Structure 1
């Protein structure tokens, strides 16, 4: 990027770089101690960017996403995974696959976490808000400056809560199987988004979980074959297993 004159970098990072902190909510000062390969890879990329920046005037913004849900409200974009990736996608995609009968039911991994209902707790951020965070980051990016921000709602929801919201949004009966936990999943992760609010004037606006899922479900029903047979090998997004990210 430097060789081609790129002056601004907005990097998509993740809350998984924090691992499983002792204190909630997570701030940008929370130690980064990832416990799974995804979080470790993102942490390595952040480190590379920060090391490079020591001798560069590139404007850098690092956005640590929490769990992304939803679709474009205008119906242009939604989750449409390549077939080989369905098994590794988002919880929302898994719920929709179950609701559409693509899979026989939903597999929830882990019911013995130290949370109120035993399932993982995550901070679900609507993709529309995430897009807005990118726009705000781009507007505020300054040469020679690094900004690091959590992008979340500041509220945690359990997997069971999410599944109930998905049932409500789809109006479908969804069979749920509870399985042993998956290694590398964190019990509880949610953000403190005060820094991005104070510095970028960004706050999540789409915080009604059921409503975000209704928008995404509308896209799923309108696009039963994703982006069409011709593009089926190049689409992106959903899943048959609930795997908190």
Structure 2
């Protein structure tokens, strides 16, 4: 009896194992078929569908741009090496838009010319939103060569790939840091560009390359010069989640929230002797949702052979001290503030004149500083561990 039972059990186990293997093989083949079908949808141009490559799409601004594009029925490819981006943001987007042909993520480095060319050869892009860049002023003064490689050289490679593969529209993520510290405020698009730190210099060099190329090209180019970006998705899908080792370099909003949550003992304000009303730097704080809206409008208005350059800001400057008070109000926490000496490469006062972007793209900022901070704080409170995921590819 025992031998017969053992044989039956063995036979059953064998059949079960074989069935499990067969099911697994079928599932893998089915998944590969779906992936292959989805990939093919990205590899050809489809009437009525605009396929946008979002470089740096796992980053803070890039992920919000990808979300907006997907909501507006664009086809999106995110390309990111995750050196500053967050795979958690990509996974949020993948869950929101799982349909084949809507969103794909490519892990690659824009500094790898062969990889970039291969990506362009295998995908039918209609436009590129180029966000990917290291973007900390203080860090750029310590590692200037890294910034010139990452910003200027990588932009050149993207532009070469676009030209080689006949991609006709570029929306370029630039910065008010290209202006340096102008004598007159507010800053217009005609303000002379005299950047004073490697970050601003690298961005201006990239702009110059784009502008020189555009003179003999039918590419439609939009250059958007950002001011200081804050906020998060008002629906709570995405937010700002810098990795721990970058917190010291990050945006003041992130530092304020870290202080409010007790992650750091307090806020460090660098520089109290600037020629401003209260001695601290004055900046133009633009909400990320408003900023992304400017990109979508720029994409819609891009024309072959034409170049548009726009300042994207609120037109109103707020001092660091005013910002901290607004953050205290938004969080309900009396944040401790430590005042330190100036940070290398910083400037006293920068805010925009957004009249050109308002007139030509019908764009205007809607969120106030207080509203942006309140929305961002809600996301921070509900995502105490950021996206709750490591940046590992697994």
Residue 2 of structure 1 and its aligned partner are, at CA, apart by 1.3
SS at match of 1:164: helix
In structure 1, the gaps of 5 or more residues are 235-245
- Superposed CA RMSD in Å reads 1.0
- Which residue of the other structure, out of 365, 369, 372, is the alignment partner of 1:209? 369
- Which residue of the other structure, out of 240, 258, 263, is the alignment partner of 1:97? 258
For residues 162-196 of structure 1, the C-alpha deviation after alignment (integer angstroms, 9 at most, x for no partner) is 00000000001210000011121110000000000
Q: Distance in 2 between matches of 1:87 and 1:57?
A: 42
Aligned match of 1:242: none
Q: Distance in 2 between matches of 1:119 and 1:88?
A: 18
Extract structure 1 runs of 4+ deviating beyond 2 A: none
Residue 229 of structure 1 and its aligned partner are, at CA, apart by 2.8
Aligned match of 1:63: 224
Matching of residue 51 in structure 1 with residue 212 in structure 2: yes
Q: Distance in 1 between matches of 2:340 and 2:358?
A: 38
Q: Distance in 2 between matches of 1:92 and 1:174?
A: 12
Residue 142 of structure 1 and its aligned partner are, at CA, apart by 0.1
Matching of residue 33 in structure 1 with residue 194 in structure 2: yes
Q: Distance in 2 between matches of 1:131 and 1:12?
A: 11
Aligned match of 2:378: 218
SS at match of 2:269: strand
Aligned match of 2:146: none
Aligned match of 2:352: 191
Q: Distance in 2 between matches of 1:180 and 1:196?
A: 36
Q: Distance in 2 between matches of 1:69 and 1:147?
A: 24
Q: Greater helix percent: which structure?
A: 2
Aligned match of 1:117: 278
Aligned match of 1:229: 389
Q: Distance in 2 between matches of 1:76 and 1:45?
A: 32
Matching of residue 142 in structure 1 with residue 293 in structure 2: no
1:176-187 counterparts in 2 under 5 A? 176-187=337-348
